[in-house]
Structure 1
Amino acid sequence: MNLTAYEAAAAGSVAGFVAVLVGGLVVTATLIWAVLLGIKVRKREPRRPRPDEQPRLPASGAVRETREQREPNAITGDDRLTPHDLRPSGGARSGDQRRPRWNRGSSGSFGSGGPGGA
C-alpha cells in the first residue's frame, strides 16, 4: 500500500505525539515517585528539636577565640619527629605577644628565596 506524503506526515506526527505523551507520563510518574520516597525517608528521620530544646549560651556569655604566641618545642636527639611525638599546644607561652608580620621585600611564601614582588 502506497501512502501519500500527506498521509506519511500525518502518521509520523501521530507517532511523535504519542512518544511525547508517553515520555511526559514517564517523567511525571518518576517525579511523583521521588516525592513519595522523600516523604517516606523524612518520616523515618528523628523529629526536629523544639525551640525549648535548642542549645543556649552559657551564663558567662559566648566563648571567644584566644590567640597567643607560643615558643617552639625544643627538638632533642637525632631522631625524626612524628606527629604523636609533638605536644599538642606547642611550647610555653611566649613573653613577646606581638603578632609576626611579613618583612618588607619578602614574598611571604615559604622557602621561595626570591626577592618578592614589588
Structure 2
Amino acid sequence: MIQYEAAATNAGGVTAILVAGLVLVGALVWAVRFGMKTRRREPGPPGRGEHPTLPESGPVHETRQMREPDEVPRAGDESERLRPHDLHASGSKPSEDQTRRRWAPGSSGSFGGGPGRT
C-alpha cells in the first residue's frame, strides 16, 4: 500500500512539470513568431546600386602634420575676461617646421633612462 501512495504523489509532480514545459514551449513559439513579424517590417539589405561609392577624387588618405600648442589670448585689461568665443576652436595649430622629430642616439628613450641629450 505504501507504494501506491508514492506513485500518486509523483503523478502530480509529473503533471506540473509537463504543464510548465508546455508553457515554456508556447512562450518560445510566440517569441519566434514575434521576431519573424518584426523582421518582415524592417527594410531589406541595400541593392547593388544603393551601396556607398568612392568619391570622384579617389580614396581619402590620412594626412600627417606636426602641430604645436596654440597660446591662449590675453585679455586687454584686467577688467576684461575671456569668453568661449574669444578662444580658438582647437588647442593646437600647425607648426611652422613640418619635419618629423626622430630619435637620436644618446637621447633618453623608453629603455635605459640615460642622462638624456647632453
When normalised by structure 2's length, the TM-score is 0.65
Partners of 1:72 and 1:93 lie apart in 2 by: 9
Give the Cα separation in 2 of the matches to 1:84 and 1:28. Answer: 66
* Identical columns (%): 35
Q: Which amino acid aligns with 2:109?
A: R
Match of 2:71 in 1: 74
Could you say which structure has the higher strand fraction?
2
Distance verdict in 2 for CA 1:100–1:46, change over 3 Å: farther
What is the match of residue 19 of structure 1? Answer: 16
Q: Which runs of 5+ in 1 are unaligned?
A: 107-118
Q: Is 1:104 paired with 2:109?
A: yes
1:57 partner SS = coil
8 Å contact from structure 1 (residues 69, 99) kept in 2: no
Q: Distance in 2 between matches of 1:67 and 1:89?
A: 17
Aligned to 2:93: 91
Count of aligned pairs: 102
User: Residues 21 and 63 from structure 1, CA distance in 2 versus in 1: closer, same or farther, beyond 3 angstroms?
Assistant: same
**Post-superposition offset of 1:25:** 0.7
Match of 1:39 in 2: 36
C-alpha separation between the residues in 2 aligned to 1:12 and 1:104? 79
Superposed CA RMSD in Å reads 3.1
Matched, 1:5 2:2: yes
Using structure 1 for the length normalisation, give the TM-score. Answer: 0.65
Quote the residue 1:48 is aligned against: 45
Mind listing any 5+ residue stretches in structure 2 that lack a counterpart? 76-80, 112-118
Where does structure 1 differ by over 6 angstroms across 4 or more consecutive aligned residues?
none
